A and B are shown apart, each in its own frame.
Chain A
């Protein structure tokens, strides 16, 4: 029987990384839960075995329930009834099966009914569910909003809300408004304190809210009257059971039809403050967005895989000119690049999620006790590198998902343009990945400081220290050459005026991503040549051409050239 986890050993490979031991030891606090919970692991090996079992269950559900439902969900979509959003009928089936499988509250501690999974495992589940239905992945993975409530909410709020998520209640993050999209500082939804009832009240409109009719919302609202920037914004918890929020409209979208995008009206809706006032945007939403960006990276990898699978299966079956089309160089060129982007992009995703896991686990331990100086240092190190890697993982993978979906249609030829084939849906679904949770252009903005301050370069140089398999040494030598070009390009960027700097940043961002992924896939191919040797060859070849191209572009660019680019 098909299984989206066991069918792709490339996913499970990433559980073998040496950092996993540290992550699991931190996350499980020396396996103290085993005395109290029958499902808690007794040691590291047991924890990894648990992760594999959960991935196996999810792979089964994804292949045999969610994927078969995905076409109907895409065609039906959600609809509006008396101010409430009604999912496509098979979305309810998907929700039911994930609840029965216990795949909710997965990142939460066991005392709140959760599974205490690290982000790396959560991202794997996300990827698998996304491969089956990217729209449903949104509905499911928005449960990770609970991480923010856990981090910044009171113990009372944790006890009230987290067990409900572990039971399968859904979440949303209500951030954007008609005039506040990428620029969240302009949020106007009004929060006022109701002295009489000793609670906050929310009034206003939110727009483009994914899964906006969820059970528990995290809402960004302006609590400080008269303020106009991010410092006047706070984060609130709205419980649907209290009422006061209606769905006014559901957007008709190009893709991810299973994921309802709602416009919400708040009419004196009762809400609880989460954390402190004024920290809503500058602290809490930033944490929320970082988690969400990693979620989109996982969603993208899922679609990269599915687009590749669809193309590969079609190319093996379809014959033209008396031969299966998979035997034509023009076709296997596309297929091999799809697979290389998938393998390299996935490696970047899980490297990022491991960095996130270490610092988040230490942060959580710091809520219970004082960290040792070594631990504090470790937390700082991984927090910084996770911040640097997250925009790379999100931006690069969301672009790769689009490229793979495009190539998947190309491999299908005319059939790919027909609505009966899945690749057209993947193409429509993928388009939003490089837009929401920050466009690729904004991922570049988030990453550029680490380009100019040399953080990536230092990391790349550290990665170059790793030993690679004998037969991969020539590839490594080629990457070393790319790093030299990169270093030169970084120096040019640092020396350029502000407009040229912003203009060239994307090229440097792509170079950074491609060099880091080249090194990651090289390492993977060293450890598991049977899985990654081909992709390492293909990826480095491709990265080499791109990095050289970007280098030439940056090197030959002059400030006065900008005039020719300015749109009028």
Chain B
């Protein structure tokens, strides 16, 4: 059967190589110091989607992302690797969204796309590390969900067989379609960009990314595939109150940059007294209990 697959992907600051200037004085991320990249586990998800497309001829893979106009790069990166299309949710109304408002916007967009068989994204994004968006999207769409997926083994008779990465091993589960899948970083790495696809799509942009003076501007009239889908709050018929800042109950009070130093370490033995004192400390700090 041919599948309609939507990949959820996010443009994130590259927090893997954080330097001293990663945070601004006010505790927010210094985006200028951290290059914007394709969230790593979303790349694992894209690879699973592209493999399904190869195994099921006639399938389509679409990239769905929300962010600044520059997040059009996420769609291009998908197209360069074999995705067929993409949608960028970009609008001031989407700005400042927490995971609830984000999943509302994504779920609403998926409804608008319609007839989706598989929604697949990374387990979590490296900027927030919440792992909430995938499950919330499933909940809002009323779909089954499989988290921590490592490999989609097969899709047969309307059911997906998926291997999950769990504590201490793996388990294989079955889920009826449509299904939301979040993919773990231990899954196969994503394929490289393909030379021909990069040449074909290198000037593909959503309208808000354009300045209007591009030397290749004429091509936008001749080649419709160079214009990426760009959707606003109104375009997906979303409730503005549930989007962006107004739809986000989470308020960030402050962000602290913590660097652990060797002198802050504590050495504990296996003695009952040491274990007891550790448990007590964790209870006091409300880390456990």
Contact = CB atoms under 8 A, between A and B. Distances in A.
A237 interface: no
7 contacts: A39-B195, A39-B200, A53-B202, A57-B198, A60-B192, A65-B192, A100-B192
A358 B213 CA distance: 34
Specify which of B191, B193, B197, B219 lies most central, judged by the most chain A CB atoms within 10 Å of its CB. B193
A500 interface: no
Contacts of B191: 97, 100-101
Interface string B193-230: 11111111010000000000001100100010100000
A162 to B, nearest CB: 15
B195 A115 contact: yes
A204 interface: no
A525 interface: no
Contacts, number: 53
Given A45-B215, A60-B192, A61-B192, 17 more contacts: A38-B196, A39-B200, A41-B199, A42-B219, A50-B199, A50-B202, A54-B198, A57-B192, A65-B192, A97-B191, A97-B192, A101-B191, A101-B194, A101-B195, A102-B197, A106-B195, A115-B195
Interface string A72-103: 00000000000000000000000001001111
Given A61-B192, A101-B192, A102-B194, A53 B199 contact: yes
B216 A57 contact: no
A53 B199 CA distance: 8
Interface in A104-143: 106, 115
A496 B194 CA distance: 57
B193 A101 contact: yes
A49 interface: yes
Contacts of B200: 38-39
Interface residues of A, number: 22
A341 B225 CA distance: 46
A50 B80 CA distance: 13
Contacts of B215: 45
A183 interface: no
A46 B195 contact: no
Nearest to B50: A100
Contacts of A100: 191-192, 194
Interface in B160-202: 191-200, 202
B216 A102 contact: no
Contacts of A45: 215
A40 B192 CA distance: 20
Contacts of B196: 38-39, 102, 115
A61 B196 CA distance: 16
A97 B198 CA distance: 15
Interface in A26-66: 38-42, 45-46, 49-50, 53-54, 57, 60-61, 65
B44 to A, nearest CB: 15
A125 B223 CA distance: 29
A42 B216 contact: yes
Nearest to A60: B192
A46 B219 CA distance: 12
Contacts of B193: 57, 60, 101
Contacts of B219: 42
Contact of B223 (A38, A53, A57, A102): A38
Nearest to B17: A1
Contacts of B223: 38
A102 B195 contact: yes
Nearest to A35: B222
Contacts of A46: 216
A100 to B, nearest CB: 4
A42 B226 CA distance: 14
A40 B191 CA distance: 23
A49 to B, nearest CB: 7
A46 B200 CA distance: 11
B251 to A, nearest CB: 34
Nearest to A47: B199
B56 to A, nearest CB: 18
A487 to B, nearest CB: 47
Nearest to B16: A1
Contacts of A106: 195
Contacts of A38: 196, 199-200, 223, 225
A102 B81 CA distance: 10
B202 A103 contact: no
A100 B47 CA distance: 12
A534 to B, nearest CB: 29
A129 to B, nearest CB: 13
A40 B157 CA distance: 41
Specify which of B191, B199, B225 lies most central, judged by the most chain A CB atoms within 10 Å of its CB. B199
Contact of A39 (B192, B199, B216, B225): B199
Interface in A394-437: none
Contacts of A115: 195-196
B76 to A, nearest CB: 11
A39 B197 CA distance: 7
Contacts of A102: 194-197
A100 B199 CA distance: 15
B32 to A, nearest CB: 18
A114 to B, nearest CB: 10
Contacts of A101: 191-195
Contacts of A97: 191-192
Contacts of B192: 57, 60-61, 65, 97, 100-101
A55 to B, nearest CB: 10
A57 B196 CA distance: 11
Contacts of B202: 49-50, 53
Q: Which 8 A-B pairs have the closest CB atoms?
A: A39-B199, A102-B195, A38-B200, A101-B192, A39-B196, A100-B191, A102-B194, A53-B198
A39 B194 CA distance: 11
Nearest to B81: A100
B271 to A, nearest CB: 41
A119 B215 CA distance: 27
Nearest to B14: A1
A557 to B, nearest CB: 53
A103 B216 contact: no
Interface in A201-215: none
A65 B191 CA distance: 11
A76 to B, nearest CB: 21
A377 B191 CA distance: 46
A54 B193 CA distance: 9
Specify which of A42, A65, A97, A106 lies most central, judged by the most chain B CB atoms within 10 Å of its CB. A42
A242 B104 CA distance: 58
Contacts of B199: 38-41, 50, 53-54
A4 B197 CA distance: 21
A60 B81 CA distance: 14
